Amino acid sequence: MPVNRYGVLKGQPKETIDGTAQSPHYQVRIQDDNGVQYRIAVNVSSQSQPSQVLYFASEDINTDETTNLTALGTGFTYIQNNQPDIGLDYQRGNLFDHTKMIPLPETLPGPDNDLNDAIDSYFKAAIQENATVYAFGDIWENETKPDPYFHFTPGNGIHDIHMNQGNVGQWTEDDGIWQDGGILINFDKTSQKWVGIFLAFQSQSWCTDDNGHAIKPVDECNYQTK
């Protein structure tokens, strides 16, 4: 079935941890206006082959499409019933040109050459500028143990911050439309400067039906196919 706890987490980023081979997610601690803390877990490696994750960042996000986001309260907001006015859909939303996505390795020696570096550059700037982050994905809430990375209690967070349709194998059960993950960052609330970070797996097809299932295999309809 589709992602059943899909929504958007709104808050201010406070600290980050790079993904590693043992923990292939870039981690971000987020805090809402009530002091509630969350963790954003962003995939920097894929369990299905090829392992390199597709990445695209845009500094030219259409502000008309973000109007509804600024009206949301901080914390987590559920997005249900395929709400195209709030939810993300990489194939139907026209928010960015998916043919510009590129595969990036999780980590490489040297600066500014891997997915950790690419994501980190935006989050470091967001922390410095006290920007507002909107992370789309699947929520987990009120764990009975402290968060294993940032140690706050209760554990709360959001994952599946990538395209959630056109999947293969065991992940087809997550397929759906208007429920893709991703990150939008509002850096300057006066000038409405927005940055979008979008991620997908090379194993996912870019031709999907109204249930988000692949209608063509990835080798016939991949991320380079308009």
Whole-structure pTM value = 0.93
Structure tokens at 130: 């006290």
In a domain, 217, yes or no: no
In a domain, 216, yes or no: no
pLDDT in tens, 124-133: 999 999 999 9
In a domain, 12, yes or no: yes
pLDDT in tens, 170-193: 888 889 999 999 999 999 776 678
Domain count, the chain: 1
In a domain, 218, yes or no: no
In a domain, 108, yes or no: yes
Place of tokens 């990036």: 104
In a domain, 220, yes or no: no
Q: What is the DSSP letter of 73?
A: P
Sign of CA pseudo-dihedral 145, 174, 24, 41: negative
In a domain, 151, yes or no: yes
Containing domain of residue 105, as a range?
6-201
In a domain, 209, yes or no: no
Whole-angstrom distance, CA of residue 35 vs CA of residue 143: 17
